[in-house]
Amino acid sequence: MIHRFDFLVLGSGIAGLSYALKVALNGTVAIITKKEKAESNTNYAQGGVAAVMSSMDSYDMHIDDTLSTGAGLCHRDSVETMVKEGPARLRELMDLGVAFTRKQGELDLGREGGHSVNRIVHAKDLTGREIERALLARIAEHPNIQVFENHVAIDLITEHHVVGERVIDRTNIHCWGAYVLDEIRNRVDKFIARVVLVATGGLGHAYLHTTNPLIATGDGVAMSYRAGATIANMEFIQFHPTTLYDSGSPSFLISEAVRGFGAVLKTVDGEEFMQRYDKRESLAPRDIVARAIDTELKKRGDDCVLLDLLHLSAVSVKEHFPHIYNTALTKFKLDITKEPIPVVPAAHYSCGGVVTDIDGRSSIHGLYACGEVSMTGVHGANRLASNSLLEALVFSDRAAKHSAAFFGKHSNERIPEIKDWDESGTFNSEEWVLISHNRKEIQQIMWDYVGIVRSDLRLERAYRRMVLIQNEVETFYKKTKVTEGLIELRNLALCATLIIRCAMKRKESRGLHFTTDYLERDNAHFLSDTLVD
Ligand code: FAD
Ligand code: SIN
């Protein structure tokens, strides 16, 4: 079946929904989403959105904190744009109905690692759920927007898919839509549109332990790469220092805001250790804290460290962190006001992705990227806490404005005839064990060899194995009818390979990329993004 819209949005997290609401003023919009519409990383965001909302704060301070956490690789122009446009975007969210937590009428600003002042706007410890709720409510009311749940985008439609012979110039590619698996009807549809936004979020499930929900399998990066878009900085995978130990998959996050509230990291013997690693102690940026925990665990042979809140008022902890308190108590039988929380790091966020300019434009005509899938330059080698939701808000707004203009200019041009999805020569495989086995293999390799601490030897070993897996998966993909599991596996294998390739290129330690073979930063050779195309 063929669906025609003016704008096609892949993903229903904060980036996709914010963009859709804005471009819907200019034309019809389809939002494609893998599962139920709220299921996204956004929906699980706890800490909040960083923005300059108080007189104690300033743009310069937020810019400096972002640049310093980004370890020399942030693009200053993107950071300035994000920081300066952030407050207006937050006010827009409030106008749309997002209820942030207030104290005596004023926004209650929390603190997280790497921030020099309190600047985290939040809705208790369920900020993402509140944002997602309000945006979806506005989307539901909009006559120009249609949401397609349980639809999985497989590949972007470009010159490669045009009927008839065509010479493909890789420097001049256009995107006109996507092939999408309708999971309910079990068929692949064509969604044709003048403008396409990739807003498919992160890729946490390339790793064995991650805070990300199951949707985060790097589909947008993989689709864009296959279509010919430039990808960058995939080596910078952020590990969140504090997830509840042994809490299953995905790992349950204990927000950094808990440390911002005064919780302290200790070894299992109760010894504070962060002072040995950074003067900001438990509130140092995430790369430093995650690496410190990893070092302590390896040195001592322990399974976890402890996050101690026992010196804090139990009433305040329950009031500020009701979701964390209740989940720990009911699901994990742990009263965090009475016992310290056993924690370990887990893969959390991808700083790299589809390279965009300051208006969300990728290197492909008509293809925009926003949110975690994109590489706008604001995070550099390490993302400052709570800058992710902010980045998605600011750049989805800019992308919406630019897309509307692009649409105005090109809406009368003819979109070429696109081939139907071709599944000839494929069959329904019974071999699902291959998919689950390959997926686990990728996750284990990435966790063991491409994690918080890397080395040449580990990366080379990971690369050799990943190339084999990727070839195996591609062969299997070519002869098998597509399913969600297979689409995700193919994308995870590709993203894992891209992460390793980028990591192998960076022969220094910087931000989230730490290797025992090159312990120092090397500005002479590596003060630049790692591009793959
Ligand atoms: P997402 O919100 O992940 O949305 C992606 C969407 O794309 C989903 O709807 C998904 O179903 C869909 N999708 C994916 N692949 C496909 C496909 N092939 N076809 C169709 N649809 C697809 N950041 C902060 O700034 N502050 C925080 O407090 C914070 N807390 C966090 C807590 C947790 C537990 C996690 C996991 C992340 C947190 N982050 C936080 C990071 C932040 O939540 C994400 O980076 C951000 O929400 C990403 O938004 P997004 O719109 O880009 O993607
Ligand atoms: C958290 O609440 O610790 C997550 C914040 C973030 O990822 O920015």
- Cβ pair 152, 181 in contact under 8 A: yes
What gap in Å lies between CA 320 and CA 257, rounded to an integer? 9
Closest atom of ligand 2 to 349 CA is 7
What gap in Å lies between CA 329 and CA 351, rounded to an integer? 32
- Cβ pair 507, 517 in contact under 8 A: yes
pLDDT class of 103 with cuts at 50, 70, 90: very high
Verify that 281 and 333 share a domain, yes or no.
Answer: yes
Give me the domain span that covers residue 288. Answer: 241-345
Verify that 148 and 274 share a domain, yes or no.
Answer: no
Residues with Cβ within 8 Å of 298's Cβ and at least 6 positions away in sequence, in order, are: none
Q: pLDDT tens, 166-191?
A: 778 888 999 999 999 999 999 999 99
pLDDT for 132 beyond 80: yes
Other CB atoms within a 10 A radius of the CB of residue 49 amount to 29
- Tell me which ligand sits closest to the C-alpha of residue 127: 1
pLDDT for 165 beyond 80: no
Query: What angle do the packed helices 456-478 and 484-505 form, to 10 degrees?
Result: 150
Last residue of a domain, one of 345, 375, 398: 345
Last residue of a domain, one of 345, 375, 401: 345
Please give the single-letter amino acid code of residue 461.
R
pLDDT for 109 beyond 80: yes
Verify that 463 and 506 share a domain, yes or no.
Answer: yes
Other CB atoms within a 10 A radius of the CB of residue 188 amount to 19
Q: How far is CA 56 from CA 92, 109, 110, 123, 390, in A?
A: 22, 11, 13, 21, 19
pLDDT class of 153 with cuts at 50, 70, 90: very high
Verify that 277 and 402 share a domain, yes or no.
Answer: no
User: What's the average model confidence in pLDDT over 87-101?
Assistant: 98
pLDDT at 473: 94
CA of residue 423 relative to chain centroid, distance? 31
Verify that 412 and 480 share a domain, yes or no.
Answer: yes
Closest atom of ligand 2 to 388 CA is 8
Closest atom of ligand 1 to 374 CA is 52
What gap in Å lies between CA 505 and CA 463, rounded to an integer? 12
Mutational test site, ligand 2, from 125, 255, 351, max ligand atoms within 8 Å of CB: 255
pLDDT for 409 beyond 80: yes
β-pairing, 187-198 with 367-369? parallel
Total residue length of the chain? 533
What gap in Å lies between CA 153 and CA 197, rounded to an integer? 12
Catalytic entry in 286, 361, 490, 510 = 286
How many whole angstroms from 43 Cα to the centroid of ligand 2? Answer: 12
pLDDT at 270: 97
Helix (H) or strand (E) holding 151: strand 151-157
Last residue of a domain, one of 326, 345, 364: 345
What's the alpha-carbon Rg for the chain, to the nearest Å? 22
What gap in Å lies between CA 533 and CA 524, rounded to an integer? 23
Q: By three-state DSSP, how is residue 110 classified? A: strand
Other CB atoms within a 10 A radius of the CB of residue 137 amount to 11
How many whole angstroms from 372 Cα to the centroid of ligand 1? Answer: 7
pLDDT at 432: 77
Q: pLDDT tens, 253-296?
A: 999 999 999 999 999 999 999 999 999 999 998 999 999 999 99
The domain that holds 429 is classified in CATH as 3.50.50.60
pLDDT for 417 beyond 80: yes
The domain that holds 250 is classified in CATH as 3.90.700.10
Spell out which residues line ligand 1, taking CB within 6 angstroms: 10-16, 32-35, 39-42, 44-49, 127-128, 152-153, 199-202, 211-212, 215, 219, 253, 349, 371-373, 386-389, 392
pLDDT at 426: 83
Verify that 447 and 516 share a domain, yes or no.
Answer: yes
- Cβ pair 502, 520 in contact under 8 A: no
Percent of the chain with pLDDT over 90: 94
Burial (CB < 10 A; 0-12, 13-18, 19+), residue 44, is buried
User: What's the average model confidence in pLDDT over 220-246?
Assistant: 97
Verify that 134 and 167 share a domain, yes or no.
Answer: yes
DSSP 478-528: HTB---HHHHHHHHHHHHHHHHHHHHHH--S-BTTB-BTTB-S--HHHH-S
CA of residue 450 relative to chain centroid, distance? 18
Instruction: Tell me the average pLDDT of the chain.
Output: 96
How many whole angstroms from 441 Cα to the centroid of ligand 2? Answer: 28
Residues with Cβ within 8 Å of 205's Cβ and at least 6 positions away in sequence, in order, are: 212, 214, 216, 217, 218, 439, 443, 488, 492
User: What's the average model confidence in pLDDT over 424-449?
Assistant: 88
pLDDT for 430 beyond 80: no
Closest atom of ligand 1 to 15 CA is 51
Strands of 18-150 (E only): list them.
29-32, 49-50, 102-103, 106-107, 109-110, 120-121, 145-148
What gap in Å lies between CA 396 and CA 360, rounded to an integer? 7
What gap in Å lies between CA 482 and CA 474, rounded to an integer? 12
Q: pLDDT tens, 321-364?
A: 999 999 999 999 999 999 999 999 999 999 999 999 999 999 99
What gap in Å lies between CA 293 and CA 423, rounded to an integer? 48
pLDDT class of 521 with cuts at 50, 70, 90: very high
How many whole angstroms from 349 Cα to the centroid of ligand 1? Answer: 9
How many whole angstroms from 113 Cα to the centroid of ligand 2? Answer: 9
When divided into structural domains, the chain yields a total of: 2
Verify that 369 and 466 share a domain, yes or no.
Answer: yes
Position with higher pLDDT, 408 vs 285: 408
How many whole angstroms from 215 Cα to the centroid of ligand 1? Answer: 9
Percent of the chain with pLDDT over 70: 100
DSSP 49-80: EE---STT--HHHHHHHHHHHTTT-S-HHHHH
* DSSP 8-state class, residue 383: P
Q: Please calculate the CA angle 255-258-260 and round it to the nearest 5 degrees.
A: 110
pLDDT for 427 beyond 90: no
Mutational test site, ligand 2, from 126, 131, 386, 388, max ligand atoms within 8 Å of CB: 386
Verify that 322 and 208 share a domain, yes or no.
Answer: no
pLDDT for 513 beyond 90: yes
Peptide bond into 250 cis (omega under 30): yes
Alpha-helix residue ranges (DSSP H) falling in 411-505? 432-449, 456-478, 484-505
pLDDT for 50 beyond 90: yes
Could you tell me which of 185, 215, 183, 193 has the C-alpha nearest to residue 202? 215
Verify that 147 and 292 share a domain, yes or no.
Answer: no
User: What's the average model confidence in pLDDT over 383-397?
Assistant: 98
Verify that 198 and 308 share a domain, yes or no.
Answer: no
pLDDT class of 520 with cuts at 50, 70, 90: very high
Active site residue 286: yes
User: What's the average model confidence in pLDDT over 295-320?
Assistant: 96
- Cβ pair 183, 32 in contact under 8 A: no
Spell out which residues line ligand 2, taking CB within 6 angstroms: 46-47, 255-257, 385-386, 388
Q: How far is CA 27 from CA 193, 195, 367, 370, in A?
A: 11, 10, 16, 19
What gap in Å lies between CA 37 and CA 51, rounded to an integer? 27
pLDDT class of 424 with cuts at 50, 70, 90: confident
Verify that 29 and 12 share a domain, yes or no.
Answer: yes
pLDDT at 533: 81
